[in-house]
Structure 1
Amino acid sequence: MRSTSNPAFRNLPRGGFGGGYAGFQTQPQGEPGYGGYHQAPPTTSDRPMTVDDVVTKTALTVGLALVVGIITGVAVYSGALSPFPPMIIGLIVGLVLSLVIIFKQMPNPALVLSYSAAEGLFLGAITGVFSGLVEGIAIQAVIGTALVFIVMLVVYKTGAVKVTPKLTKWIIGATVAAAGLMLINLVMSFFGYNPLRDGGTMSIVFSIVVIGIAAFNFLLDFDMADQMIRAGMPSKWAWYAAFGLMTTLVWLYLEILRLLYYLNQD
């Protein structure tokens, strides 16, 4: 399996690629198992994952985040809810759940959907605040995120850009570099210097570059999900693929929201 900058896909079980999954070889159908007995037929969760599985699970994951986000955003925008509680709760819960899912390698639907709801809470609170500053910014950010996702999916499916090892290295390198710059900028902001997030020209250029990097990360996510499908991993891992795509969507949406705010400042 190729490497990827998305932490959700970094530690997938590799034994399933090229024969069986999760390190186990599948028993040929119709042949006796241990002790001369035939193996039981595979359950629904054991069957190989398909494109439809990934599409369905991703739609459920993104849909839940969108519903929770809209409810939270409207409540914050109207003044019925302070943005800080949902923002802090969503950030902490989302971070903890993402770490559990990644490091425990748990394609658990309850965990993935809980992560989605937490991210919806977090993004909704932030969006509610920005909506109070720039009218219509929320719908613009949602449409922009959706368009980038669709364009990159078309690019991947048509083969307009091939996911090669060289391209993968470039995307990972760019992602790490951008994350490093954001961390350095965060530290400098504590001392009153915030060049990458102060709304100036450099901030706008940086946001555009980061949006481009996030967009290209979708190619790696699509390719990884495609490899999981071709390798015959169990259908339950479609939840893990959906989680991986969701993490990139969250990053992209936040950066588009930030860019729109910069562009609408007087």
Structure 2
Amino acid sequence: MTVLQSSNPVLTDDHFRSAYGHMMGSETATVNGVIHKTFVLVGLAVGAGALGYSVGQTIPAAAWISSLVALVVTMGVYFGLRSKPERAKILGPIYALAEGFFLGALTAVFESMLAASKIAVPGGLALQAFIVTASVMGAMLLLYRAGIIKPTARFQSVLSTVTLGITITYLISFALSFFGISMPLIGLSGAMAGGQAAWIGLGLNVVILGVASLWLVIDFGLVEDTVRSGAPKDMEWYCGFALTVSLAWVYYEALKVCFRLALLLSNRD
């Protein structure tokens, strides 16, 4: 089966042939296969997250150390899959374990910070962030299936540009933190201080959560294009990896939103 026209660079004719030409005619990718691979990767992330949460409760510095590891792993996986997406079968689980551990440790640190301020979150931050993440995925899937939001080339281009800006801002904020310099509206120092800056920071956080959520639409389009184009079964791992990356980002932003809200609402009492 020939590759259909797609806005996804992985599925363009030249890229597809160079990466998978030798595998054409083998078993092809299916939606059920992608779902299974996604569950495997998310399961690995959750398992690593549970370990990270446990470690983060006793060693708060683990969150910051694991953030560096997760950053290095993410960059390595990105460049590793850029030209050879079939490597996702190996690199995907590595990413899921590193990112899951980081998110688990970060969740534990956030909960410890709230506990120190005598702030209780019903069910814990992890549950609240999970509910938001699951709700976002369901909403994006409905919007995609209804055709309300379509992953066109222009949509992906604009979203990529905005995401690049967010990434650069995060990296600058992360680098400045080593010198004791904070960006109150981006970091969580403003949330801890309260006041107008805390509310503005919450608003920016919600906007970034929205940007992260829109990447799920891109991922759904990738899955549909992959199955329709008759891509080899190994592409299921690549699609699962893409979905896992987006879900991890959504959880990360949802976690911060829940943390900011807990602080702001407690300050109103």
Matched, 1:130 2:135: no
Post-superposition Cα deviations, 1:91-140, rounded to whole Å, max 9, x if no partner, equal: 43444334323344333423211221111111111111112123411111
3-state SS of the aligned residue for 1:66? Answer: helix
Matched, 1:169 2:167: no
Post-superposition Cα deviations, 1:36-56, rounded to whole Å, max 9, x if no partner, equal: xxxxxx5xxx21101011111
1:62 is matched with: 42
Matched, 1:196 2:189: no
Distance 1:49 1:25 in 2: 12
**1:13 positional shift:** 5.9
Instruction: Work out which of the residue numbers 51, 62, 75 in structure 2 matches 1:83.
Output: 62
Matched, 1:14 2:49: no
Matched, 1:142 2:130: yes
1:20, 1:233 within 8 Å by CA — same for their partners in 2?
no
3-state SS of the aligned residue for 2:86? Answer: coil
3-state SS of the aligned residue for 1:22? Answer: helix
1:156 is matched with: 144
Q: Which amino acid aligns with 1:196?
A: I
Report which stretch shifted further, 190-199 or 61-70. 190-199
1:16, 1:24 within 8 Å by CA — same for their partners in 2?
no
Identity of aligned residues (%): 27
How high is the TM-score relative to the length of structure 1?
0.77
1:107, 1:237 within 8 Å by CA — same for their partners in 2?
no
Distance 2:204 2:173 in 1: 12
2:235 is matched with: 237
For structure 2, list consecutive stretches of 5 or more residues without a partner in the other structure: 1-5, 115-120, 192-197
Distance 1:182 1:217 in 2: 18
**1:259 positional shift:** 1.6
Q: 1:184 to 1:98 in 2, by over 3 A?
A: closer
Distance 1:121 1:255 in 2: 16
Distance 1:91 1:20 in 2: 28
Distance 2:152 2:236 in 1: 23
**1:183 positional shift:** 4.3
How high is the TM-score relative to the length of structure 2?
0.77
3-state SS of the aligned residue for 1:160? Answer: coil
User: Going by fraction, where is helix more abundant, 1 or 2?
Assistant: 2
**1:80 positional shift:** 6.8
Report which stretch shifted further, 117-126 or 104-113. 104-113
Distance 1:66 1:25 in 2: 32
3-state SS of the aligned residue for 1:162? Answer: coil
For structure 1, list consecutive stretches of 5 or more residues without a partner in the other structure: 4-9, 27-41
2:257 is matched with: 259
**1:247 positional shift:** 1.3
Post-superposition Cα deviations, 1:194-230, rounded to whole Å, max 9, x if no partner, equal: 1322322221111111111111111111101211111
Q: Which has more radius of gyration?
A: 1
Distance 1:162 1:210 in 2: 19
3-state SS of the aligned residue for 1:68? Answer: helix
**1:171 positional shift:** 2.2
Distance 2:88 2:213 in 1: 26
1:48, 1:235 within 8 Å by CA — same for their partners in 2?
yes
Instruction: Work out which of the residue numbers 92, 99, 109 in structure 1 matches 2:79.
Output: 99
